[in-house]
Structure 1
Amino acid sequence: MSARSGRPWVPPRWFKRAAWRAHRWLYRVSGGRRGLRSPSGRTSGLLRLRVVGRKSGVERAVILAYFEDGERLVTLAMNGWDDPPPQWWLNLRAHPDAVVDTVDGSVHVRGRAASGEERRRLWAAFDAYDGWGAGIDRFAALRSRETPVVVLERRDG
């Protein structure tokens, strides 16, 4: 964080993209045995979200941090804190039915954005994970738009 601006440090875009590619590669070459984890204590989990491309109709996959809210899985559509919305979020909005891969297996879900009091509650809960320590708002301020809180609700396949 810069002492003058109070803005949190975020790695450059090229670094984030390389890390995301490496993470997907690790998942793929390990046959799904590496790269995912369940939430534990106050550490978020990692899931693989499979969505249908809104233009291509082709399945796309991304690995995301998440926590559990009862039976629901909750993540943020933040694109590494960069300003444009992540493509997976645009795809999920167009085709809300998706599949989530976790360490416990695959689950069919329907995605949506939380709003109102639900969003405020889930945002605060996400802030408590991974030692954000009320710092998530500083990262969110890097974006010109509100960061969607995405709720993935289980559905029958």
Structure 2
Amino acid sequence: MSDENRAEKPKLPPRWFIRSAWWVHRRLYRVSGGRVGLWRPRANRWGTLRLTTTGRRTGQQRSVIIAYLDDGPNLFTLAMNGWGEGEPAWWLNLQTHPDATVDMVGGRRLVRGRAATGDERLRLWARWREIDTNLDAFAALRSSETAVVVLEPRKRDAAP
């Protein structure tokens, strides 16, 4: 079989390495008082934000740092779980309690999370693919479709 016909699977670091990197990132954010660990998206790179959701089982606040892109007044991200199997806990939490907050370089925003569907999902996926040319190959590592999650602004009076 020629190299052109053989679709190579992308190589991911071991799961322990991915989880350790997340832990270090969150720790840097906490230790720096939020001064390190968040950045705005650029033309060829996603940004990072801190998403705080309400736990679906505990009702407690849960925070995670995730990658995102802007889409007008909305933000969007991928529920990829480090390209591992299963849905990330933050996405399961948002499905149960869609109201959340995001901390970004520019400050805090109140948001409501939902899954993009149809043409919107295709458009946002294509935007992410412009930044990550291996997106489809990484997504193929998962047995289920990776959700594109839209974080829409919400009014201040609707508390989480």
Shorter-chain TM range is over 0.9
Poorly superposed stretches of 4+, deviation over 6 Å: none
Between the aligned partners of 1:45 and 1:57, the Cα distance in structure 2 is 28
Between the aligned partners of 1:35 and 1:86, the Cα distance in structure 2 is 20
In the alignment, which residue of structure 2 is the partner of 1:23?
Answer: 25
SS in structure 1 at match of 2:19: helix
SS in structure 1 at match of 2:64: strand
Tell me how large the CA RMSD over aligned residues is.
Answer: 1.1
Bigger Rg over Cα: 2
Between the aligned partners of 1:31 and 1:127, the Cα distance in structure 2 is 32
SS in structure 1 at match of 2:103: strand
Between the aligned partners of 1:5 and 1:13, the Cα distance in structure 2 is 23
Question: Aligned to 2:68, which of 66, 70, 83?
Answer: 66
TM-score (norm 2): 0.92
Offset of residue 42 of structure 1? 1.7
In the alignment, which residue of structure 2 is the partner of 1:104?
Answer: 106
Between the aligned partners of 1:103 and 1:5, the Cα distance in structure 2 is 39
TM-score (norm 1): 0.94
Question: Aligned to 2:57, which of 55, 67, 71?
Answer: 55
How many residue pairs align between the two structures? Answer: 152
Between the aligned partners of 1:78 and 1:8, the Cα distance in structure 2 is 15
Q: Does 1:94 align with 2:96?
A: yes
In the alignment, which residue of structure 2 is the partner of 1:121?
Answer: 123
Specify every segment of 5 or more residues in structure 1 that has no aligned partner in the other structure, as ranges.
Answer: none
SS in structure 2 at match of 1:101: strand
Whichever residue aligns with residue 146 of structure 2, its letter is: T
In the alignment, which residue of structure 2 is the partner of 1:37?
Answer: 39
SS in structure 2 at match of 1:11: coil
Deviations 1:29-78 (A, max 9, x none): 00000000001112110000000000011100111111000010010000
Offset of residue 21 of structure 1? 0.5
Specify every segment of 5 or more residues in structure 2 that has no aligned partner in the other structure, as ranges.
Answer: none
Between the aligned partners of 1:128 and 1:50, the Cα distance in structure 2 is 27
SS in structure 1 at match of 2:45: coil
